[in-house]
Chains A and B, each alone.
Chain A
């Protein structure tokens, strides 16, 4: 988490630092951001093959050019917005440590570069995500992005996407 000293230092280095690019998407009325480097592609929603006895937010699997990819619906997972599927529903295909997973969201808005001085520590409350999975908040003046540590989230036991060694 960023401290004040961090912030002032990053202000000094403003010109030198590149900042990080985030893909912004919406879930319900909240706007989220994830590291663009984890995004492989963005697709429309296609019918999935249901996996029996899986949690409701795991919609099933789809064929992505010959690879079987699981699709999770973040709206169901986080109880945000209406889980409707139409031609506007978007699936963000993520590539996390070589594993590919699709994530259904309400919509994708844009790609934003956030300089370090625009980052704010995540508040203790007020988000559907557990704080553990948040990087912080991105301040864009009139907008605010909730920055999600997507690597950590997708590989967490919560999501049940990967086999846990203990299991």
Chain B
């Protein structure tokens, strides 16, 4: 019976992702001078688990990389080698390569073969080159060269090796040729029976070659001979070997004495890998930690997001049903129905608890996002020649999974900006009397129903003059007396978004408008605090979840719509004199000395309103993307939290509507897309509003 392995791929990818992240975290924290054995073991285990999984599913490329990685790690953790910064860098880049290979398998994205080869060569070099002084590894390697006779090295210390491959696919042979080509000069030939044969001029020894070939083929089947010695020998036994008269019996005889020689070489190389296969054998050293980890794993299960969402939907439904029951029983006589009312009360409490518990399933700790930054900051600071100390706070703060995934990009942008433009160069910091290493803090905390995420640096701060100059150049309406907070908001203007405008210390212009727009799309707000000379803090305030929204219920005609409360500034009843008609432009209304475009909702949605006269209705002042407008409605119904439902899952996108929700009476109410309404009001006003 065959099992469709692909159904398990996702599990492998998820697990490998976690393991890689874990590995990276450990690597970044490792102390080069005195590496913690536990950490080294943990890194080794991660590499080993990925290798095992990849081998099971037949992802050979991943297996190969992890195998080399694992061998090197194994030596380090056994103290056969000392961990160096070079090692850590190599490990980190292998993490990147593995990431790339995995996304290659997962999404079919392009894989940079050259990077893989380079990495493997680098790891090899590290494990072979540096291993030489270690007697344990070097000793078995020494007798490896062929047939007892040390291969003849030429004047430059190069060996001329003849490598005969067993019957392998052309693809594997190509891969090997590429690999071996990195080690020296390679010439390729084909034996009469179709097998490939390489002649390699290299400084490497035969066992290195066996080790490399071992990824692709069975080392026992490989024949490595000294090309100088073998050539005359072959010439003697079967003089015409290269001229098509090759006798198949001859190479068999010739290879007989060589095979045992090749085998110890292969074994010698295989030794470091062998313990890797049974980490359990070393329970004495790190068994305790392994047990802890296993215990942790068994207490959680992997569930698909769809299942969780389904659960949330069902609970949402339950809450609505429960609200309906509440409405019905409110009409009952409390004396006659005391027990029913008590039970209903209990039901409503239980429902609320259940809803909270279910909503918490979707919550993920911010660590999921934060954990990717140490690496980025390290690399970026290294590239820019800056010193940055990276601190995270409140990584355990939880946020809805949907939001967490969407916050990654804006946050990456902000962190990169802080390292690039916020933190100054070491010399400059020293001159300013600050610690050479800049401090970058990423924090998350709950504040009321929101989560506040802050990226803060102790760099030079924003430069007020430069921003104002730039704003004037861009023709933005600014004045020199503007309060700081308004000046800082200018960097979110689209005109500020190109890098060359404000490049150095003060400039934080790169795509900030995009950051702000993304965050606004999540219902969040961005705020900047900056003090010249002592740093900048950018704070993002987000609602805890996208699934629930604070809504204002409004009524037009007989229909009820929901306005997301975040956009609502105020609501008022205008005096007739404040509403002015602009020919062909629709109406505007004067609110606190400001003329705002008037959006008649009844007109947009073709509803029969109670009254078309603005002074008889209610104006809700909305703000989105820095623009304000007044929405004319018949009346306000109330304010409540609503569960957001997607309209597009069974229908299509509707202009002016961002979603739907179910009200207490079981009916559907549509949620207005305020941003789109305001956008449309800017373009036109009069009779027809089209989106």
Contact = CB atoms under 8 A, between A and B. Distances in A.
Interface of A: 47-54, 60-63, 65-70, 99-101, 160-163
B647 A61 contact: yes
Contacts, number: 71
Contacts of A54: 654
Given A52-B657, A63-B662, A66-B662, 18 more contacts: A47-B667, A49-B667, A49-B668, A51-B657, A52-B604, A52-B605, A53-B654, A60-B668, A61-B668, A65-B317, A66-B317, A66-B645, A67-B313, A68-B647, A68-B651, A68-B662, A68-B668, A161-B651
B648 interface: yes
Nearest to B652: A163
B652 A162 contact: yes
A51 to B, nearest CB: 6
Contacts of A51: 651, 654, 657, 670
Interface string B630-647: 000000000000000111
Interface in B589-611: 604-607
A66 B649 contact: no
Contacts of A70: 650-651
17 contacts: A48-B668, A49-B660, A51-B654, A53-B654, A61-B647, A61-B651, A61-B660, A61-B670, A66-B314, A67-B313, A68-B645, A68-B647, A70-B650, A70-B651, A160-B652, A161-B652, A163-B653
A126 B654 CA distance: 34
A49 to B, nearest CB: 4
A60 B668 CA distance: 10
B559 interface: yes
B145 to A, nearest CB: 64
A99 B667 CA distance: 20
B650 A163 contact: no
B642 to A, nearest CB: 12
Nearest to B655: A53
Contacts of B604: 52
B511 interface: no
B58 interface: no
**B-side interface size class:** 20 to 34
A61 B187 CA distance: 72
B648 A163 contact: yes
Contacts of A69: 650
A162 B648 CA distance: 8
B666 interface: yes
B422 interface: no
Contact of A67 (B645, B648, B655, B669): B645
B669 A49 contact: yes
B280 to A, nearest CB: 46
A66 B660 CA distance: 11
Nearest to B556: A52
Q: Which 10 pairs, one residue from A and one from B, show the smallest C-beta to C-beta distance?
A: A52-B605, A66-B317, A49-B668, A70-B651, A163-B652, A68-B660, A63-B662, A100-B650, A66-B313, A68-B645
A94 B316 CA distance: 23
Given A52-B606, A53-B655, A61-B660, A67 B650 contact: yes
B549 to A, nearest CB: 15
Contacts of B559: 49-50
Contacts of B320: 66
Interface centre among A60, A61, A69, A163, by most chain B C-beta atoms within 10 angstroms, is A61
A54 B607 CA distance: 12
B656 interface: yes
A112 B314 CA distance: 34
B667 A53 contact: no
Contacts of A67: 313, 645, 649-650
A101 B654 CA distance: 16
Interface centre among B317, B607, B651, by most chain A C-beta atoms within 10 angstroms, is B651
Interface string B315-326: 011001000000
B650 A49 contact: no
A62 B645 CA distance: 12
A161 to B, nearest CB: 6
A52 B662 CA distance: 18
B571 to A, nearest CB: 21
Contacts of A161: 651-652
A162 B651 CA distance: 6
A37 B568 CA distance: 46
A155 B654 CA distance: 17
A157 to B, nearest CB: 11
A53 B313 contact: no
A101 B670 contact: no
B667 A68 contact: no
